[in-house]
């Protein structure tokens, strides 16, 4: 039986992105310290990260429409150019205009499908992950963030536990309490 999952509170913008004085380059020589910062920030700001991912998904929806229109324009321009410069294509276009338009539409759909998948992956999946990892790496922890009590029953806490990523202080406290 699975325990009840709690929802972490949405942190205020002034706490999530307070200014440059609360951001610092992580210590890349001490991976344990860096990992603790990332895990702690992932737990503390998890609802803010969910809001960030939602915003990027909404933004990508517009990107997909733009990509679709760009592909249609590109295929149309290329077909016109090829039709004007290629005798065989020009003859086909004059003899079977409906088939030529269907061919353009099929080529557009194939390109939109392929490019749309790439755009979705690059913008909707990769961009939020990069933004979240960058924020979690560079954002200094505050005292509330360092303590992080009660956040282990959230979705991010369960996910990090299943990946074996626990903050060192939380592990020590859990070991002490057991």
What pLDDT does residue 1 have? Answer: 41
* Chain position carrying tokens 């991912």: 53
Sign of CA dihedral 88, 94, 99, 105: positive
Which is more confident, 174 or 85? 85
Q: Check residue 138 and give its pLDDT.
A: 92
What are the pLDDT digits (tens) for 50-88?
A: 899 888 877 777 666 777 777 777 887 887 777 777 777
For the question of whether the overall pTM of this predicted structure is more than 0.85, the answer is: no
Task: Judge whether residue 150 has pLDDT over 70.
Answer: no
d(CA 76, CA 20): 47
Task: Please report, for the chain, the start and end positions of each structural domain, with discontinuous segments joined by +.
Answer: 13-175
């Amino acid at each position: 039986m699975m325990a009840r999952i709690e929802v972490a509170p949405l942190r205020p913008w002034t706490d999530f992105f307070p200014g440059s004085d609360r951001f610092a380059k992580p210590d890349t020589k001490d991976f344990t310290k860096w990992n603790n910062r990332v895990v702690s920030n992932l737990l503390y700001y998890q609802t803010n990260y969910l809001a960030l991912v939602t915003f990027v998904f909404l933004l990508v929806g517009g990107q997909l429409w733009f990509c679709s229109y760009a592909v249609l324009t590109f295929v149309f321009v290329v077909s016109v150019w090829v039709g004007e410069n290629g005798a065989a294509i020009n003859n086909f276009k004059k003899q079977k205009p409906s088939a030529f338009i269907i061919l353009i539409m099929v080529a557009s759909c194939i390109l939109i499908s392929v490019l749309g998948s790439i755009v979705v992956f690059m913008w909707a999946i990769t961009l939020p992950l990069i933004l979240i990892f960058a924020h979690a790496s560079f954002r200094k922890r505050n005292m509330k963030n360092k303590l992080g009590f009660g956040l282990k029953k959230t979705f991010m806490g369960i996910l990090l536990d299943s990946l074996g990523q626990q903050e060192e202080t939380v592990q020590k406290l859990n070991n002490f309490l057991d």
